[in-house]
Chains A and B, each alone.
Chain A
Amino acid sequence: MGNQGLLQHLANGISLGSLYALIAIGYTMVYGILRLINFAHGDIFMLGIYITYYGVLFTSIPWWIVFIFASVFTGLIGLLLEKVAYRPLRESPRITILISAIGASFFLQNFGIVVFGGRPKAFPIPNVFNRVVKLGGVSISMITFVIPLVTLLLLLGLTYFITKTKTGMAMRALSKDYETASLMGIDINRIISITFFIGSFLAAVGGIMWGIRYPQLMPLMGVMPGLKCFIAAVIGGIGNITGAVLGGFILGLGEIMLVALLPKLTGYRDAFAFILLIVILLIKPTGLMGEKITEKV
């Protein structure tokens, strides 16, 4: 493989990594506060894509406005999901709320099959993204550039939000020490709703770009990316946003490079994430950037 090939793979890896990072943030933020794997997060991602699909195809609204509305709308669905499936169980044992999360995930998948149909659909890609850019003899599609750029902008926005705004700081306080923060007069329900909104919003943005990149839509398309992005969050150290981004990139680049360098193992691509997860959990269970939590006795 020449330099050009390598450059091509690197670009692909970075754009896949960016998508993983965007979805992983949602997992990590929710986990940071509620200590819950939101199993339905991948299905929220799927809903985001379908909502955009219908918005673009069946309205005459310009695509970029549809993109924004669809993302916000998906964010609201995430918020609703928490209210219905998780909030009633907040004081219950962890296993119960995990089961509810799995139930929610299967509900959304099958709801997808019922409403959108089981057959694959083709995502309507706006023409801008189909343009090909030549860079040092390598042709790279526009979307490969757009993805990391959008991700970067969203990350900057998110960083500003959680470090500079009052809500963001409350969010951090809540994930550092849930009990104390709740005694300090923080409106927990509001913060959790906002967390779910942001996580789902980012998943939708990731989903739309995913749709442009891999334009085949299916109701079960959220399962694998969902699991992988949770793994990305764990690799980075769950609860830690920077860690989730790092984990997303490690996973995205790793997958692309595995296929590029060892084409024989292409069939094992989906297993790669899980193997990486298990290795990380064995070496450093708290992930690359996670902190150790000791239970109070």
Chain B
Amino acid sequence: MKENNRFKNSLIMLIVTIAVLFVLNRVLDDYKLRILNLCGIYITLGLSMNLINGFTGLFSLGHAGFMAIGAYTVAILTMPVHMKEMNFFMKPIVPFLANIEWSFFPALMMGGILAGLFGFLIGAPVLRLTDDYLAIATLGFAEIIRVVFTNTQSITNGALGLKGIPASTNVWWSWGVAIITVLFMVFLMEGSYGKAFNAIREDEIAAQSMGINLFTHKVMSFTFGSFLAGIGGGLLAALLGTIDPNMFRIVLTFNILLIVVLGGLGSIKGSVVSAILVTIAMEALRFLDESINLGFVELKGIAGMRMVVFSLILMGVVIFRREGLLKEN
């Protein structure tokens, strides 16, 4: 009975979401549509980080790196051959990548898989570390990826970045993936494996004494998280059309961490709401950084002000309301 009710409610939610998206997709202008897309992508990204940091209690700061892998994979695989020639004018692209042109879906999956594979490979050594060492090691890996992407000119075009990535991401892609991710997270966390992740977060020693293999479970969580981060990165690349290594600095990880912490560590609903709020707020507070002309008076924006506000919010939340802004009770 309870099960049935829940199914009905979820279905209604889903239909309403799709209907709202359908309407928004019609009425919004390009700029606002872009923000709507970003909301969807950040839902996926927020959940992917929440899986690792919130549900499993691992403190990973490697998200920007996984996103970079996804983004570059999608960019390189989907970019038309002539576009590649235009991009790689400094140093030609390696031959085996020069003539391929995949469609979006397989490229996106490949982005996720490569990011997940990378997460799996680095997970093996670093997940043996405890919280703060793990944080710095994952941060380190993300930086290594960025440095490598800056230097492997014949694959990534180096610091010049890639321009003219086919704009495949639309509302259906970004939100479709977001909805699937939400469902994935709900089902995962209801199941035995998700609960084992929670147990690890609560008390590693007790979890291990109850027969949970810490290492394999952490690797699973980390791999899934990095897969989803790769997918998010790929969607982002196909939304923006332009990427370069500097996009994937620590500040990107910080933005996602902000979403996760505001929504509450370990809360799916929280991450979804907070992804939407933070994305919109980031845009809405742009005026803090840029000057706006109100006709009669020009308000001077100050560069950096927006992030000052956001970092204060982040600290305020962890100091005064640790369970996140959006969690009930």
Contacts and interface: CB of A to CB of B under 8 A. Distances in A.
Given A88-B319, A114-B303, A227 B143 contact: yes
Contact of A98 (B128, B132, B251, B311): B132
Interface in A187-229: 219, 223, 227
A85 B148 CA distance: 34
Interface string B245-264: 00000110010010001000
A1 B126 CA distance: 38
A216 B151 CA distance: 23
Contacts of B322: 92, 96
B143 A270 contact: yes
B49 to A, nearest CB: 12
**Which secondary structure dominates where chain B touches chain A?**
helix
A294 B139 CA distance: 25
A274 B135 CA distance: 12
A270 B322 CA distance: 34
A35 interface: yes
Interface in B293-307: 302-307
B81 interface: no
Between A89, A103, A267, A278, the greatest number of chain B beta carbons within 10 A of the residue's beta carbon is seen for: A103
A270 B148 CA distance: 10
B254 A118 contact: no
Interface of B: 53, 57, 59, 61, 125-126, 128-129, 131-133, 135-137, 139-141, 143-144, 147-148, 150-151, 205, 250-251, 254, 257, 261, 265, 302-308, 310-312, 314-315, 318-319, 322
Contacts of B137: 277-278, 281
B147 A103 contact: no
Interface stretch (A9-17, A104-112, A241-249): A104-112
Interface of A: 35-37, 85, 88-89, 92, 94-100, 102-104, 106-107, 109-114, 117-118, 219, 223, 227, 230-231, 234, 267-268, 270-271, 273-275, 277-278, 281-282, 285, 295, 297
Given A98-B59, A114-B305, A106 B311 contact: yes
Given A37-B132, A231-B140, A268-B151, A102 B305 contact: no
Nearest to A219: B304
10 closest A-B pairs by CB: A113-B304, A274-B140, A103-B315, A107-B311, A110-B307, A103-B314, A106-B311, A267-B151, A271-B147, A110-B304
